[in-house]
A = this chain, B = another copy of it.
Amino acid sequence: MWAILTAAARPVRIAAMGSRGHAPQAGLRERKKERTRSRIQDHALRLYLKQGYSRTTVEQIAEAADVSQSTFFRYFSTKAETVLYDRFDPVFLEKFGHQPAELAPFDALRRALWEVFEEIEPEALMLEQSRWRLVAEEPELRASLPEGTRQGTAMLANAVAERVGRRPDDLAIRIWVGALVGAIYAAFFAATEDPDGNYLEYIDAAIAQLEAGLPL
């Protein structure tokens, strides 16, 4: 699942975009911005799929979305972000946090993942997967992916720490989460190499192996 990997790029982004922070009910201004943002991302993804990521320039995206380059960079601080931005991340973190307290971390994790996947409509899932493939195939994207991961890892560490009642900077927690993310990472790339591989199955395999004490 992507969530864990890229998670926290999002809150940072939103904060940086000058939303008022509190207002949960979006005003006209906010909604217009949201639309502009989606429009840019849509055009960007469409161009990437059509002519490849590196052969698409920001200028082209801006033109297609009918905004200036300045505006493009106001919405996405880098070109890569148009791909890496993941709207399911906060959903996952929320589900994870709301799993019953008596569940072991691995079970909570698994259930949260299932719930997120169940909610995604098949059509949206297809689009997501093409986005994932893009990330897996484009070196530049693969490269900028894990910086998001690092922050995401920190957030997940917080959630796990809370669940087991320990401090989030506890070394054991950090190592645990690091191993988890690394394993899922490996499973993710294995899944992208398998033409009709089911991402969720691969990730399940990773979780199961960790749960079993990492046998070889």
Contacts and interface: CB of A to CB of B under 8 A. Distances in A.
Interface string A137-165: 00100111111011001000000100010
A5 B171 CA distance: 19
Interface string A173-184: 111111111111
A24 interface: no
Contacts of A212: 213
A187 B171 contact: yes
A204 to B, nearest CB: 11
A206 B175 contact: yes
A185 interface: yes
A214 interface: yes
A170 to B, nearest CB: 9
Nearest to A161: B216
Contacts of A160: 216
Contacts of A180: 179, 182
A182 B181 CA distance: 6
A210 interface: yes
Contacts of A182: 178-183, 185
A57 interface: no
Given A179-B180, A216-B172, A153 B186 contact: yes
Interface in A35-59: none
A109 to B, nearest CB: 12
A213 B209 CA distance: 10
Interface string A183-195: 1111101100000
A90 interface: no
Given A182-B183, A213-B213, A214-B210, A205 B175 contact: yes
A97 interface: no
A144 B143 CA distance: 5
Interface of A: 105, 139, 142-147, 149-150, 153, 160, 164, 171-187, 189-190, 202, 205-206, 209-210, 212-216
